[in-house]
Structures are given as C-alpha cells and as structure tokens.
C-alpha cells in the first residue's frame, strides 16, 4: 500500500476533514514551594477550533509565545490537552491510550524547525528514514530499502546518499531528509513547525516548492506553523492568526492579506517588510508588551495593546464570528 501510494499518489479521506480541532485548551500548571503545589496556570492554548481538508495548507501565524507550536503538538497528541477534542479522519483520538494511538501515529507526522537536531547523528540517512518502516511494517528489509531509495528520489536526494550521516548534508538537504522520514508511513497530515526558518532564503524557496509538489501529488494536509508572513503567503491556502492562545482571525489567504479585519492581523501585516522601498502602506504601532499567558487580561486578550479598544473590550471576550465566505474573526468592532 505504501509503495503504491508513493508511486501513484492518492486521496485519503477525500471529501472529509483530515483534522478537526474543537475548543482545544492546554493549561500548564505552575508549581511552587516545597510540596510543589499548583499556584497558577499558563494558558498556552485557550479554546482553539479549526478544520483541515485533504490537500489543504492551514498556516498558524502569530508572535512568539502565541501558542502555535503547542497547537501542533496537541493535534499530534504529543502532549495531552486540558480540554477540547481532536479528530483525525473523522475519528476522535483525544483520549486514546498509548497502544490505541499506535495505528493513528502512521496517519500524522511532523517536520521540525531544526533539521539537524531532529536527526539522530549516530544513524545513516537511510536508517533514519527506514526507522519508521521498521517500527510499523513487517515487510522484509530489502523492500524497506527499495522504498527508502524511492523516498530519497522523491524529495530530491540521490539514492547513494542513504549511506551518509546527517553532518554530511547541508541544511536544506537535512530538511529534505526530514520530509522523506515524514512521508515513509504514508501520512494524511503533516505538522510543519517552522520548517524553513533555519534555512537560507534561496533554500527556503526550494523546500517550500518541494512541499507544495508533494502536497499536490499525495493530497497531503499541512498544518504549517510560521511567523514569516512571506512564507505563509507563498504556501498557504488558509491562515489562522493566533494571539495569546486564541485564534483571532481565520480566512482564505488572499482575503486575509488583501483586507485584514482584526486589529492584530492588521498590525502583523503592517510590520512585515516589503521589497519595494517606495511602496507606502498602513503603519500600526502596538504599544506595550504581550501579556503573560499566566495572567492574561480579562475580556479581549488584545485590548491592552489595541489602538481601537473601548470599554466592552476590557470586560467581554469576543467570540469568533462569521464575516462571509467562511471567514471568521473575534472583535467587537464592526466590519
């Protein structure tokens, strides 16, 4: 099945959501004192909901500490949620135990930010990519070796590179190696956590184009986590903007870049550099620092920095509301 999918492509779960996240929360306890009693909670993710279709890329963007990476790890069940639900291919996997989760692990993979730190330096590149197959497949080693060779070719690496070690590859080649490992088990979902931020700009474009080609061929769904709006504009289909653990706006990429609705989204886009020095654009300066997730402000989390905040923002948390065309944003201001 894996070999056929690698060579011919496929459309797993066509017409369904690959990933559905509903009211997802993750609170990390803060323990202090001799008895290590819980004194506070860090609200890393505070009620996030979205859905992802086959062949679609949903980009999570926001400042550092907004909860983007935590959402990705919750979706993969690498950490346990405090509340909410995660559905993969229509099945609720939120409370599955370790053994019950084992079959579902094959359907979702991750590509990490640092391609070198995520690879075992003691193993050859071929063994790194073959390791998931050895853990999940009963096929003889010769079949696995043949599949690994095809995976190397698919991500733009020569088959003879299977005998090399991670330190012998460049940064871009190591990220291609990470992609090959992620594809080994025929997943329907890949969480890409800042996958090109550690690469040179020219290499970034190569890796992004490779990911887009693989998505088109294999109908992969990407949950793409990034702070780089230029990268997001290149690879994304939809964009979800996060601030202090909450999604404040989610929309099709073209709509969001052309007409951002939430003040925070407008500030992010205004802060992004543009290649034309003569071009003029709206400038929004946010005052103050991002509040602590251990003590988020009441009402709208953004009201302490928002230039348009009024009294209602300080007491009532806005909900994600429809703005037409599947677009949603959480703000008390009228569109």
pLDDT tens-digit map of 64-113 = 889 999 999 999 999 999 999 999 999 999 999 999 999 999 999 999 98
Position 14 confidence tier, pLDDT thresholds 50, 70, 90? very low
Position 116 confidence tier, pLDDT thresholds 50, 70, 90? confident
**pTM assigned to the model:** 0.89
Instruction: Report if residue 197 sits inside a domain.
Output: no
pLDDT of 40: 86
Secondary structure class of 148 (helix, strand, coil): helix
Tokens of 304: 């302490």
Of 58 and 14, more confident: 58
Residues 6+ apart with CB under 8 A from 203: 170, 171, 172, 196
Tokens 């979902």 sit on residue: 189
Tokens 């369904």 sit on residue: 16
pLDDT of 288: 78
Position 35 confidence tier, pLDDT thresholds 50, 70, 90? confident
Secondary structure percentages of the chain, helix, strand, coil, to 5: 35, 20, 45
CA distances 106 to 214, 240, 273, 291, Å, are: 17, 26, 39, 38
Q: In whole angstroms, what is the distance from residue 323 CA to residue 335 CA?
A: 8
Res. 1: pLDDT tops 60 = no
Cβ(320)–Cβ(250) below 8 Å: yes
pLDDT of 214: 96
Mean pLDDT of 147-172: 94
Position 4 confidence tier, pLDDT thresholds 50, 70, 90? very low
Res. 166: pLDDT tops 90 = yes
Position 12 confidence tier, pLDDT thresholds 50, 70, 90? very low
Digit-coded pLDDT (tens) for 182-219: 999 999 999 999 999 888 888 999 999 999 999 999 99
Mean pLDDT of 125-154: 88
pLDDT of 54: 95
Instruction: Report if residue 24 sits inside a domain.
Output: no
Burial of 121 (0-12, 13-18, 19+ CB in 10 A): exposed
Instruction: Report if residue 60 sits inside a domain.
Output: no
Res. 10: pLDDT tops 60 = no
Burial of 147 (0-12, 13-18, 19+ CB in 10 A): buried
Position 13 confidence tier, pLDDT thresholds 50, 70, 90? very low
3-state secondary structure 273-329: CCCCCCCCCCCCCCCCCCCCCCCCCCCCCCCCCCCCCCHHHHHCCCCCEECCCCCEE
User: What residue numbers bound the domain in which 320 lies?
Assistant: 259-273+281-335
Residues 6+ apart with CB under 8 A from 241: 61, 62, 247, 248, 249, 250, 256, 262, 264, 265, 268
Instruction: Report if residue 73 sits inside a domain.
Output: no
Instruction: Report if residue 33 sits inside a domain.
Output: no
Mean pLDDT of 143-160: 93
Q: What is the mean pLDDT of the chain?
A: 89
From the CB of residue 217, how many other CB atoms can be counted at a distance below 10 Å?
A: 15
Tokens of 290: 């991002």
Instruction: Report if residue 35 sits inside a domain.
Output: no
Instruction: Report if residue 243 sits inside a domain.
Output: no
Nearest CA to 90 out of 122, 63, 53 is that of: 53
Q: How many domains, the chain?
A: 1
Residues 6+ apart with CB under 8 A from 330: 246, 247, 248, 249, 262, 300, 317, 318, 319, 320, 321
Give, rounded to a whole angstrom, the gap between the first and last alpha carbons of the chain. Answer: 49
Edge-to-edge order in the sheet of strand 19-32: 37-52, 19-32, 83-88, 91-92
Digit-coded pLDDT (tens) for 253-273: 999 999 999 999 999 998 877
Instruction: Give percent of the chain above pLDDT 70.
Output: 92
Instruction: Report if residue 58 sits inside a domain.
Output: no
Tokens of 166: 């991670």
Position 335 confidence tier, pLDDT thresholds 50, 70, 90? low
Q: In whole angstroms, what is the distance from residue 210 CA to residue 172 CA?
A: 11
Secondary structure class of 133 (helix, strand, coil): helix
Tokens of 67: 């909860």
């Amino acid at each position: 099945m894996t070999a056929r999918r690698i060579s011919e492509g496929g459309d797993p779960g066509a017409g369904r959501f690959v990933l559905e996240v509903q009211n997802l929360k993750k609170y990390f306890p803060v323990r202090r004192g001799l008895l290590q009693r819980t004194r506070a909670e860090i609200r890393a993710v505070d009620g996030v909901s979205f859905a992802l279709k086959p062949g679609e890329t949903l980009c999570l963007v926001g400042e550092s500490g907004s909860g983007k990476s935590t959402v990705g790890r919750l979706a993969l069940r690498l950490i346990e949620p405090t509340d909410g639900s995660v559905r993969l291919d229509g099945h609720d996997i939120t409370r599955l135990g370790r053994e019950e989760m084992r079959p579902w692990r094959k359907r979702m993979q991750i590509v990490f930010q640092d391609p070198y730190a995520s690879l075992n330096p003691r193993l050859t590149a071929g063994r790194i990519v073959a390791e998931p197959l050895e853990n999940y497949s009963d096929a003889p080693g010769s079949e696995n070796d043949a599949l690994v060779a095809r995976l190397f070719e698919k991500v733009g690496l020569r088959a003879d590179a299977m005998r090399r070690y991670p330190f012998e590859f460049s940064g871009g080649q190591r990220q291609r190696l990470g992609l090959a490992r992620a594809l080994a088990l025929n997943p329907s979902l890949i969480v890409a956590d800042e996958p090109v931020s550690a690469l040179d700009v020219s290499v970034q474009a190569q890796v992004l184009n490779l990911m887009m080609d693989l998505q088109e061929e294999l109908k992969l769904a990407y949950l793409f986590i990034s702070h780089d709006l230029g990268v997001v504009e290149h690879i994304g289909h939809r964009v979800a903007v996060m601030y202090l653990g909450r999604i404040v706006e989610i929309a099709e990429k073209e709509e969001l870049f052309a007409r951002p609705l939430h003040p925070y989204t407008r500030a992010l886009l205004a802060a992004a550099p543009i290649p034309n020095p003569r071009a003029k654009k709206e400038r929004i300066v946010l005052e103050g620092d991002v509040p602590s997730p251990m003590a988020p402000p009441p009402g709208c989390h953004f009201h302490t920095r928002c230039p348009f905040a009024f009294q209602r923002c300080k007491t009532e948390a806005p909900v994600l509301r429809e703005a037409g065309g599947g677009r949603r944003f959480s703000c008390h201001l009228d569109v």
